[in-house]
Amino acid sequence: MEKVNVKPATGKLGVLCVGLGAVTSTFMTGVLMVRKGLSKPVGSMTQYDKIRVGRGKDKQYKHYGEIVPLAGLDDLVFGAWDVYLVNAFEAAVNCEVLKAKDILPVKDELEKIVAMEAAFDHDYASRLDGTNVKACKSRWEMVERLREDIRNFKETNGCERIVVIWAASTEIYVPVNEKVHGSLAALEQAMKEDDRKHVAPSMCYAYAALSEGAPFIMGAPNTTVDIPAMWELAEKVKLPIAGKDFKTGQTLVKSGFAPIIGTRCLGLSGWFSTNILGNRDGLVLDEPANFHTKEVSKLSTLESILVPENQPDLYTGYYHKVRINYYPPRNDNKEGWDNIDIFGWMGYPMQIKIDFLCRDSILAAPLVLDLVLLSDLAARAGRYGIQRFLSFFLKSPMHDYTEGEVPVNHLFQQYVMLKNAIREMGGYEADEEID
């Protein structure tokens, strides 16, 4: 083992969530229930997964927390911003993801988590009409107010460290604009000039978090931290950033199933994906401008796994379509259908049908926990900038497109990246190949 200088996870870790809706309230309730010994953190890699460290006679399989110093669940302190003035108990009840028996035992703790006023612009999520919103004259004022919130939360709750994670709705698509997003100075100037077209509210959250010493995680497909200006800021303050978009249902299936087709050298003619979803996320995504942001994220997965240039006979010209439909009766219980048209020996066609009846927030909550704990770990290990090892948890992994980098979307290659990073931070050899 090598000596690695990872700072210990001492003191309290503040977890500030943007959005106090279904995902956040399910995440917070679950952690509080697990702390009381009343539930299990099923689906969380940091709590369950074991990694091999060492080879041959030195080989051992260890939980992440036995390899690296992770913050304990008892050390987490929760806060949130939301456009609706609710506390976490009300949010958990209103979202109807969890049953009363899984909420009531931690009612007192949840009621104390009251949503702070959100930094919000109605033009970025026109289907939301909350009143718990900061009155800001400019984007720069948004940043300053958010920084103040982070400082106050940290002081009031006696936190050693903070992590900020976006678990709010998808904003309208903001194309990368080199003049505004190409450098930190340009972005700061745009914020001060209140350039609302190019500076999304989510960018203000990310800027505020990083400026206050907190890693930032983008859990929606927003372009927030996918811009050189944010990479520059993360490098300047030496903090990790991760994104984008929690990989929970259909894309998780796609990133795991597409490798089967590729590994078996079967051809692909088309892949049609459609979803029905009835929660707040579904409502926002029913707006075409917001759906476009999600569509870009979901479409990117397949194209980097089944690559025409690598296998022209098998993957040239396949048709890939993604749809999301708002359907209120299902609420948080999302259903994803995939129709996959493949071909085999001598070009004969076959079909695969996948129907995933999943629960959006039940799948997302453990991802939030893992991303928070691992981003905090990365910060203490001195890692900063884009955290590619967290791609496993994300639909559209961050990458430096200015250098022509192609993101890794293959689930099992992403898993190798995750394991190798944990090994390295634990002082072990990163001994698996990603190919």
| Dist CA 242 CA 389 (whole Å) | 9
Q: How many helices (H) and strands (E) does the chain have?
A: 16, 13
Would you give the DSSP letter of residue 169?
A: P
If you search the block for the tokens 């991303």, which residue do you land on?
371
Tokens of residue 84, six digits:
């609706």
Domains of the chain: 12-246+361-425 (3.40.50.720), 250-357 (3.30.360.10)
Chain CA centroid to CA 315, Å: 29
**CA atoms of 179 and 177, how far apart (whole Å):** 6
Nearest to 349 by CA among 320, 323, 318: 318
Of 340, 429, 354, nearest to 67 by C-alpha is 429
pLDDT attached to residue 101: 98
| 355's tokens | 């129907």
Task: Give the whole-angstrom CA distance, residue 248 versus residue 251.
Answer: 7
Pair of tokens at residue 380: 């203490």
| Residue 373 backbone class (left: φ over 0; alpha: ψ -120 to 50; beta: rest) | alpha
Question: What is the CB neighbour count within 10 angstroms for residue 3?
Answer: 5
Of 2, 35, 23, residue with least CA distance to 282: 23
Task: State the pairing for strand pair 267-277/319-326.
Answer: parallel
Neighbours of 13 (CB within 10 A): 21
Report how far residue 58's alpha carbon sits from residue 14's, in angstroms, rounded to the nearest whole number. 37
- For the record, the structure tokens of 195 come out as 């350039």
Cβ–Cβ < 8 Å for 242, 396 = no
User: pLDDT tens track of the chain, all 435 residues?
Assistant: 666 789 999 999 999 999 999 999 999 999 999 999 999 999 999 999 999 999 999 999 999 999 999 999 999 999 999 999 999 999 999 999 999 999 999 999 999 999 999 999 999 998 888 899 999 999 999 999 999 999 999 999 999 999 999 999 999 999 999 999 999 999 999 999 999 999 999 999 999 999 999 999 999 999 999 999 999 999 999 999 999 999 998 899 999 999 999 999 999 999 999 999 888 777 887 788 787 776 776 667 898 899 999 999 999 999 999 998 999 998 889 899 999 999 999 999 999 999 999 999 999 999 999 999 999 999 999 999 999 999 999 999 999 999 999 899 999 999 999 999 999 999 999 999 988
Both tokens assigned to 231: 């990479």
The confidence score (pLDDT) of residue 397 equals 93
Distance CA 71, CA 372 (A): 9
Distance CA 363, CA 410 (A): 19
How many beta carbons lie within 10 A of that of residue 23, not counting itself? Answer: 30
Between β-strands 267-277 and 335-343, what pairing exists: parallel, antiparallel or unpaired? antiparallel
pLDDT, residue 239, reads 98
Name every residue whose Cβ is closer than 8 Å to that of residue 303 and which is 6 or more positions away in sequence: 320
Residue 238 C-beta-side C-alpha neighbours within 13 Å: 4
Q: In angstroms, rounded to a whole number, what is the distance separating the alpha carbons of residues 58 and 152?
A: 47
Report the pLDDT value the prediction gives residue 189, as an integer from 0 to 100. 98
CB 408 within 8 A of CB 389: no
Rounded to whole angstroms, the Cα distance separating 195 from 399 reads 26
Tokens of 414: 């992403």
As given in the structure block, the two tokens for residue 170 are 């998808």
pLDDT of residue 201: 97
What radius of gyration, in Å, describes the C-alpha atoms of the chain? 21
CA angle centred on 19, ends 241 and 329, rounded to 5°: 125
Burial class (CB in 10 A: 0-12, 13-18, 19+), 316: exposed
CB 187 within 8 A of CB 206: no
Enumerate residues 6+ apart whose C-beta is below 8 A from 161: 11, 12, 13, 14, 213, 214, 376, 379, 380
pLDDT at 284 (0 to 100) = 82
Which pLDDT belongs to residue 297? 64
| CB-based contact 352:258 (threshold 8 Å) | no
> Which class for 317: exposed (0-12), middle (13-18), buried (19 or more C-beta within 10 A)?
exposed
The answer to whether the peptide bond before residue 154 is cis (omega within 30 degrees of 0) is no
C-alpha–C-alpha distance, residues 25 and 95, integer Å: 8
